[in-house]
């Protein structure tokens, strides 16, 4: 099998490429240049796709004895991931750029080019399992629950899964991957994992958004509409946030208040008690299935609303307008723009972008 190994410069993708070589595949390594800022440097465990990362990927490919290329996907990344991130925050939503990158860059743009060039599959260092089931290929959670990345891969379609290769899916732990890398002589064996948003390497998302979106004074109100504070831009807030509110009017019961809603049109932020973060229903129009679609329009499943959240048993219903999910117990602090990934046991059924939430706690009269 001809395999294109996406090599980020980290230990996971290097070991994944090495395992693909060991399996006897014809492997070519590629590093994606996602920024045209030539002086971009890595800051510890923050950021990725930097000069250092490209050099680390090249050294790994040289050690493995495979051809290596750097492909410039910076324009596509800017338009499909960074611009989407800014637009979502402008709309008062909370996007997941890693999931969007998988959807539009690694398993769309990259995979499309790979197939055009005659490759059979794209290999990555993601922790997830692929299983050939009775109705086609299925995406499942990785063996190591602590490293499972199936949530951010929930956007993959049946066609994409057919050309995907995850050599790390059965690995017991990240420690095993690092030990294997050291045994192979890979210099990235102890390289820190990347954290935060790769295109905001200093971790200051609020400052970055203020620069891109601008600031505009607005009001912070409680659920009754009473003004309890002020802000310099609604884009700086997200549902569930507690810190940084600087409210001028304390809650009647003296308890902390949390962001419940962001209203970009009126530039207003709504706050309330923690219990008001309980969400009894979510829905979204943009959805996809990771393999074969469910056989019935209504079905039981588990739903995960964040990369590291616990899955919640739920009832899902698919209609002409999208997917609606009612959890057995309320979700905690869901923001429009987040992705809800549906599971049946370890199998990923599909995902949708949350457009609407319904509070499980009614507003008091």
Exposure of 12 in the CB half-sphere (CA atoms within 13 A): 21
Q: Is 301 a catalytic residue?
A: no
**If you ran DSSP here, which 8-state letter would residue 144 be given?**
-
Choosing from 49, 101, 123, 301, which is the catalytic residue? 101
Residue labelled with tokens 């969400």: 279
Residue 291's region, left for phi above 0, alpha for psi from -120 to 50, else beta, is left
| Nearest CA among 80, 361, 338, 88 for reference residue 234 | 88
Coil, helix or strand for 76?
helix
CA-to-CA separations, 301 to 10, 93, 149, 334, in angstroms, rounded: 34, 25, 18, 18
Residue labelled with tokens 């950021």: 47
Q: Is 49 a catalytic residue?
A: no
Say if residues 120 and 113 touch (Cβ distance below 8 Å).
no
Q: What angle do CA 62, 186, 30 make, to 5 degrees?
A: 45
Catalytic residues: 101, 198
């Amino acid at each position: 099998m001809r395999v294109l190994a996406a090599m980020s410069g980290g230990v996971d993708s290097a070991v994944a490429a090495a395992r693909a070589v060991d399996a006897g595949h014809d492997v070519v390594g590629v590093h994606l240049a996602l920024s045209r800022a030539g002086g971009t440097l890595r800051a510890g465990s923050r950021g990725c796709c930097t000069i250092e990362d490209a050099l680390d990927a090249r050294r790994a490919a040289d050690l493995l004895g495979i051809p290596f290329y750097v492909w410039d996907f910076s324009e596509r990344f800017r338009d499909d991931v960074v611009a989407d991130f800014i637009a979502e925050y402008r709309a008062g939503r909370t996007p997941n750029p890693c999931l969007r990158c998988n959807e539009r860059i690694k398993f769309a743009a990259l995979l499309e080019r790979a197939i055009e060039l005659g490759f059979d599959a794209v290999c990555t260092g993601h922790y997830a399992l692929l299983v050939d089931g009775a109705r086609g290929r299925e995406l499942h959670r990785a063996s190591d629950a602590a490293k499972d990345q199936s949530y951010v891969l929930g956007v993959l379609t049946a066609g994409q899964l057919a050309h995907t290769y995850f050599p790390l899916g059965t690995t017991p732990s990240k420690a095993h991957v690092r030990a294997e890398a050291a045994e192979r002589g890979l210099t990235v064996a102890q390289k820190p994992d990347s954290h935060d948003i790769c295109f905001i390497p200093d971790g200051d998302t609020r400052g970055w958004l203020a620069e891109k979106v601008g600031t505009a004074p607005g009001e912070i109100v409680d659920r009754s509409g009473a003004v309890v504070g002020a802000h310099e831009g609604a884009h700086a807030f997200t549902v569930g946030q507690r810190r940084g509110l600087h409210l001028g009017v304390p809650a009647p019961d003296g308890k902390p208040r949390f962001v419940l809603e962001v209203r970009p049109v009126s530039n207003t932020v709504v706050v309330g008690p923690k219990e008001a973060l309980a969400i009894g229903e979510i829905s979204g129009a943009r959805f996809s299935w990771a393999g074969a679609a469910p056989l019935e329009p209504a079905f039981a499943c588990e739903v995960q609303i964040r990369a590291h959240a616990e899955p919640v048993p739920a009832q899902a219903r698919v209609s002409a307008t999208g997917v609606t999910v009612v959890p057995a117990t309320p979700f905690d602090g869901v923001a429009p723009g987040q992705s809800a990934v549906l599971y049946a046991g370890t199998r990923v059924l599909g995902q949708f972008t949350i457009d609407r939430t319904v509070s499980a706690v009614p507003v008091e009269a």
